[in-house]
Amino acid sequence: MTLPELLIKKREYLLGRWEDIILGEYAKDTFRIFKKQKDPFANPVGHKIRIGMAELYDLLCDESDTEVATPGLEDLLRVRAVQPIAASTAISFVFDLKTLVAEQCEKEGMDRLYKEFLAFCARVDAAALAMFDIFSNCRQTVYQIRMNEFKTGRHIITDSARCSSQIMKEDMADSIRNRTTNAQPNEER
Amino acid sequence: MAIPKVEDLRAAVATEPNMFTGAIPRKDWQDTFTEFKEGNFAYPAKPEMVEYHHFPNPRIWSPDQDDWKLPDGWEDIILNGLRERLDKFRSLKVFMDICVRCGACADKCHFFLGTGDPKNMPVLRAELLRSVYRNEFTVGRKLLGKMQGNRPMTVKVLKEWFMYSYQCTECRRCSVFCPYGIDTAEITMMMRELLHLVGVGINWILEPAANSNRTGNHMGLQPHTFKDNIGYLVDDVKEITGVDVHPTFNRKGAEILFITPSADVFAEPGIYTFMGYLLLFEHIGLDYTLSTYASEGGNFGLFTSNEMMKKLNAKMYAEAKRLGVKWILGGECGHMWRVIHQYMDTMNGPADFMEVPKSPITGTVFENARSTKMVHISEFTADLIKHGKLKLDPKRNAHRVPTFHDSCNPARAMGLMDEPRYILDNVVPKWHEMNENCIREKTYCCGSGTGLNTGEIMELRMRAGLPRANAVQDVNQRFGVNALATVCAIDRATLSTLMEYWLPNTSDDPSRATDVDVIGLSELVGNALVMDGEIENREQGLRFEELITTETEG
Ligand code: SF4
Ligand code: SF4
């Protein structure tokens, strides 16, 4: 069996285990719910992880496919880009697939599959770089949408209403301000 | 330098708290600590704001510093506050006692679904308060103690309350699924109230509340600015439609007082909704006036304390009385309607000086508003359409393929679900419903309500809004939906941002930020109205966008 054949045969099994690695970042109870609930509307994070990983898996297995930015993978990274995790964590799950695939190669005889495995790893590395670009774009969008709130005047609804507070500041006694010396984050706004 | 292996890197970032929140908890919930980092908390209230409201303990502090500068004896202040509220609000006592931890609510909260943090499960959110309640106020507390999960009031607990009562938008979706009807929103409200007693609150709630108190609206717009802004909108209406509209201000003896969120007057895309109101009222020749004092429908008191809510709400009736109107018509807003529908009557009513609202155009008596004297613009408009009083050309909205977002409060707190849909049926050629588990009383929150719509917690807002965005994405992909219609001012702002993140622009037009524009329902009404004396073959919509009616269908 060639590696591509092996990857197709083991698709469901490997995807399941790979998914568990990402979902394993969450607490126990969350893991259970995100894993079990298959309704995409009742479990959007679990759903987007599932779809995104499946699309990524398929393109890593298909040597003719070079376009990494599939809609599902973009969505998955969009989820990752607003999660409380570091950029490295957000992307690193793709490398976990190497480990999982290596295990399978061991079982089938790594000596024979070694070259194919190396080629697979190279594809994973290339995908990781492309994924990092997608991730960065998502982060960029986060900054952009904050700017957009300002530009449209929505920030007046979604952030401090400056006009009157300015007036109020002038109106109000300085007593409190005088009590403090250090500028705080909330003061810098 | 040795290059760390990916696995090592991951271990490092997973175990150490990072930029946004602490790492997602893996331990038992009672053993985890709440870690505040820039980006995971809304900024604390400025001392001026705290002082303005005569709230206790004004000071400069920040959640990410260890010392929150709590007043001496703060534990007693909180516990006494809790005791007082348990006596005052029967619902709170009941909610504290009857939860059987069945877990039906656990996966229904958009904050849990978006963050995966177990403390955002409604049952655990409530448990943050319940554990203290049991420890202090129940009979078996001494015997069962920690076994039962009881906890004394400590700084750790207080910090948890702050974190998680500000990761709840009081949307009440969880209550729909609870077999006992436990309303976690009420529990959140209590936690926030108790926190205010020791000076722990966020600026973006107290500042708009202060503005509202001072100038009458969240924006702090003074009367002349409020009037001027509407003047600009009148000019825009004229330019687009060729029609003169005639709003009046503070006019005594008008039949109806119209109150809407000030966001409609000032910010995109609310201003287009306001243009819709102006056209509608002109179309039917309504005898109405606007108030520069009751110039805000919204009420951030709801997110602060019941006293504050009552105070800010009182101006509506006070102004109606001063102007001598017969009844009040209310614009598109979310939480404003919750206050009106659920609290206004008992807090500031009965408003006997007004009449039971009756449409001057159709003669319909709004029995549902018999007591509050306040009618929702969608009820009013739907009634006009039903009686054939509006000349509408839905094809003018042919460039819009909307879906409808039920805002939490109108849907769950006042049962407004069919009127907006009926209006949509009549003002656009076609529109599509989202998945049935995401609409009507099961609607998902925009993720930024209750004063959480502030920029510093953008990532959190995007996480919490994912369940809603996900359902929109589905109809966008399946039916080409390109507009998200709604009847709430905060939604119009926050959903716009949400769409820009989750459904970014994929068209060739670089001026667009998203594939799905957020639109107030009354904008669609206004755009479809065929007005007397309007420009022949009008080419622009209320956003100055090009209309496509003439080319497509005849
Ligand atoms: S659904 Fe109701 S009874 Fe069940 S755990 Fe949630 S709050 Fe408690
Ligand atoms: S009220 Fe809404 S935000 Fe709060 S716990 Fe319930 S579902 Fe979550």
pLDDT tens track for B70-91? 999 999 999 999 999 999 999 9
Q: Whose CA is nearest to atom 2 of ligand 2?
A: B171
The alpha helices in B480-520, defined as continuous H runs, are 489-502
Residue B148: per-residue pLDDT: 73
Using the predicted structure, report yes or no on whether residue B313 has a pLDDT greater than 70.
yes
Joined tokens for residue A31: 């893991």
Which ligand has its closest atom nearest to the C-alpha of B174? 2
Q: Please state which of the ranges A140-154, B120-134, B150-164, B192-206 shows the lowest mean pLDDT.
A: A140-154
Q: Which of A29-43, B141-155, B212-226 has the highest mean pLDDT?
A: A29-43
Q: Do B493 and A149 touch (CB under 8 A)?
A: yes
CA nearest to B188, candidates B166, B210, B205: B166
Of B210, B466, B504, the CB nearest to A141: B504
User: Contact at 8 Å (CB) between B175 and B99?
Assistant: no
Q: Whose CA is nearest to atom 5 of ligand 1?
A: B101
For residue B218, what are the contacts with CB-CB under 8 A and spacing of at least 6?
Answer: A157, A161, B208, B211, B212, B261, B262, B263, B296, B298, B300
Ligand 2: which of B174, B446, B452, B494 to mutate, judged by most atoms within 8 Å of the beta carbon? Answer: B174
Using the predicted structure, report yes or no on whether residue B221 has a pLDDT greater than 90.
no
Using the predicted structure, report yes or no on whether residue B183 has a pLDDT greater than 70.
yes
The per-residue pLDDT for range B246-284, each reduced to its tens digit, is: 999 999 999 999 999 998 998 889 999 999 999 999 999
> What region, left, alpha or beta, does residue B109 occupy, with left being phi > 0 and alpha being psi -120 to 50 degrees?
beta
Residue B128 pLDDT level (bands cut at 50, 70, 90): very high
CA distances from B355 to B262, B326, B370 (A): 26, 5, 8
| CA B126 to ligand 1: nearest atom | 7
User: B119: Cβ below 6 Å to ligand 2?
Assistant: no
Q: How far is the CA of B550 from the centre of ligand 1 (A)?
A: 55
CB contact B69 to A (< 8 Å): no
Q: Do B24 and A30 touch (CB under 8 A)?
A: yes
Residue in B closest to A77 by C-alpha: B502
Within 8 A of B43 by CB-CB distance, chain A residues are: 185-186, 189
Joined tokens for residue B390: 């509006």
Residue B208: per-residue pLDDT: 85
**β-sheet with B288-290: strand ranges across:** B288-290, B256-259, B327-330, B374-376
Q: Cβ of B84: how many Cβ atoms within 10 Å? A: 12
Q: Do A154 and B500 touch (CB under 8 A)?
A: no
The alpha helices in B216-286, defined as continuous H runs, are 223-241, 263-266, 270-284
Residues B542 and B485: their CA atoms lie apart, in Å, by 15
| CA B445 to ligand 2: nearest atom | 2
Residue B39 pLDDT level (bands cut at 50, 70, 90): confident
User: B102: Cβ below 6 Å to ligand 1?
Assistant: yes
Percent of chain B topping pLDDT 90: 77
Residues A7 and B316: their CA atoms lie apart, in Å, by 67
Residue A154: per-residue pLDDT: 57
Arithmetic mean of pLDDT over chain B: 90
Residue B301 pLDDT level (bands cut at 50, 70, 90): confident
Average pLDDT over residues B399-421: 96
Q: How far B477 CA lies from chain A's nearest CA (Å)?
A: 11
Q: Do B496 and A39 touch (CB under 8 A)?
A: no
Report the residue of A35, A145, A162, A176 to disrupt the B interface, i.e. the one with the largest count of B CBs within 10 Å: A145
Q: Do A82 and B266 touch (CB under 8 A)?
A: no
**β-sheet with B483-486: strand ranges across:** B402-404, B483-486, B517-520
For residue B543, what are the contacts with CB-CB under 8 A and spacing of at least 6?
Answer: B269, B272
Average pLDDT over residues B139-157: 80
User: Contact at 8 Å (CB) between B418 and B433?
Assistant: no
For residue B540, what are the contacts with CB-CB under 8 A and spacing of at least 6?
Answer: B240, B546, B547
Residue A62: per-residue pLDDT: 84
DSSP state of B392: B
Average pLDDT over residues B87-116: 95
Residue B10: per-residue pLDDT: 42
Mean pLDDT by 10 residues, chain A (189 residues): 93 97 94 96 97 96 81 96 93 96 93 94 95 96 90 55 40 42 37
How big is chain B by its Cα radius of gyration, in Å?
24
pTM (2 d.p.)? 0.89
Q: Do B113 and A45 touch (CB under 8 A)?
A: yes
SS3 B36: strand
Using the predicted structure, report yes or no on whether residue B15 has a pLDDT greater than 80.
no
CB contact B295 to A (< 8 Å): no
Average pLDDT over residues B212-240: 90
The per-residue pLDDT for range B501-550, each reduced to its tens digit, is: 999 999 998 888 999 999 999 999 999 999 999 999 999 999 999 998 55
Using the predicted structure, report yes or no on whether residue B492 has a pLDDT greater than 50.
yes
Of B114, B437, B501, the CB nearest to A42: B437
Joined tokens for residue B493: 């702002």
Residue B354: per-residue pLDDT: 97
Domain boundaries, chain A: 3-152
Which ligand has its closest atom nearest to the C-alpha of B100? 1
The per-residue pLDDT for range B360-384, each reduced to its tens digit, is: 999 999 999 999 999 999 999 999 9
